[in-house]
Structure 1
Amino acid sequence: MDFFMASLPTILSATTLSAVPILLAALGELFSERAGLVNIGLEGIMAVGAFVAFAVGKMTGNLWLGLVAAMAAGVLVNMIYGLCTVTLCCDQVVCGMAINILAPALALFGYNLFVGSNSANATGSLMPHIQIPLLSQTPLLGDPVFGQQLLAYLAFILVPLIGYFFRNFRGGLSFRSVGENPQAAETLGINVVRVKYAACVACGVLAGAGGAFLSICTTPIYIDGIVMGRGFIALATVIFGRWSALGIMAASLLFGFFDGLNVALQAQFNASPVMFFKMIPYAFTIVALVFFGSRRAGPKANGQPYYRESR
């Protein structure tokens, strides 16, 4: 108990820092799956987003411009997935795995060109932390929770907005209709193909932003493989969060907590193998999927190609 209380500020700070990129990518996947597209290429999109945000931010000195470039790069990469799955009706899992192979390779190629033999080029800068008045003075919770970067605050603000969009807006209901029964949605006048492409754009934007968070908010040093499986954790988060924005936020914070616990345990037991602690959030992902993943299916048309002429 003494160890936990002493490490609580470190755990809380690491929890928020770890949860935000997963949350952003998972919210993007929520748009995708609500439209019937299972996009397992989040890992690749985040990898491209992380590199582009780092490179553009370093070259221009403007991290917000790097964020915008990362979101645009995420959309471009995801349009490959959209073309293959929506227009050509290819297998969604195969296309997603292709993105996971192609996109990190593109990021690595860009990294080698940008950094070259000068390792100093791999060091960038971080977005400043913003202290929320009064709340940041709260004992224990103050600085770790209410002293984050603006992008982290924006990520959590998106949660109720996206939840409200899917429940109350006509566009959100169109997404849900397409994910459940695209043929029936088409008879109601909904352009299914347009909705699916809109989902690809939203997924690319948010997953690209999730990758950007890693390189402009988490660490100033860009390394190859910076995403480290977070795209797959984001996929699990959507399932664990029951395809709802609030559920996804809770699941992201839970996964972030185990990542923060990993950081605290490494600091406390520095003589133990580091990789033993690093596997904690991934092990929890597997446990969560085993116990919660099969209890409720997602949208009924998830993963199924849409043929307009079929009924």
Structure 2
Amino acid sequence: KSLGIKPIEVLVASTGVIGKQLDYHKIERAVPKLVERLTVDYDETFVRGTMTTDKFPKMCATEVGLSRGRHFRIGASAKGAGMIHPNMATMLSFVTTDAILSSADAQVILTNAVSNSFNLISVDGDTSTNDTVFLLANGASGTEVKSYEDLKKFEEALTNVLRELAKMIVKDGEGATKVVHLKVQHARSFEDAVAVGKAVAVSPLVKTAVFGGDPNWGRILSAVGNSSVNFDHTKVSLKIGDLVVFDKNEPLKYNPRKLRKAFSSQDIDVTIDLAIGKHSAEVITCDLSYEYVKINGEYTT
């Protein structure tokens, strides 16, 4: 009523303690003041208002040029720091664009973009009851995105924006001190590459080794083997940073000091080459620290 719109035009997103009902009376009382504060200008208030255990606001925007001098913009925000694991988990994301886009095209593009961004991250391996991504197109630019080429450019731009937000979520993971980029190469399929990456991303032994800076790379290979993927272990290679530590069923000689340094970095690159196909994927995760246990051991108390 305050906005003069129909109930079906109101999109609801929520997060919080599972099983605890939100006080909707509190929300009702706040609506008039929220409507008064609406603005077309940039403002971090909305983003900060969605934060719970997040340590910083997560925002990203881009502008894309098309043929004949046309252009459109995409702006997005996200919240999330814990219970993060595909599919999306406890995270909310709000995406706006001034492009003219059909709902059918928007749905397909958003699904593809989420599959290549939010669904390729993990903080703690736990999913949740609350996850939402909204894509809202108001057409204010007057630029219609309809042709194959234009739709492809829009999807690429949206995917890049959501990937940046996904990286921010992992970096802001509850108790996280390091980010790990798990790059799985030469798998039989994209799905296999993702499955291997996820198996490593959720391994407590891998995550604690990363936290402690302990270059116990055997745990990574063990997690690969624990995945549901069939592969030839005699062809697998493992690289930490720029150091190949395992190849074709044999551990290799390497500089231990350089390996410890790689494991002590705040951003760690891990490359797992299955050498059985043409597909690849990158899954992003973080370490598991004492602080994570403290946050979640006292969450409601």
- TM (norm. structure 2) is 0.25
Say which structure is richer in strand.
2
- TM (norm. structure 1) is 0.25
Say which structure is richer in helix.
1
Q: Which of structures 1 and 2 has the larger relative contact order (alpha carbons within 8 angstroms, sep 6+)?
A: 1
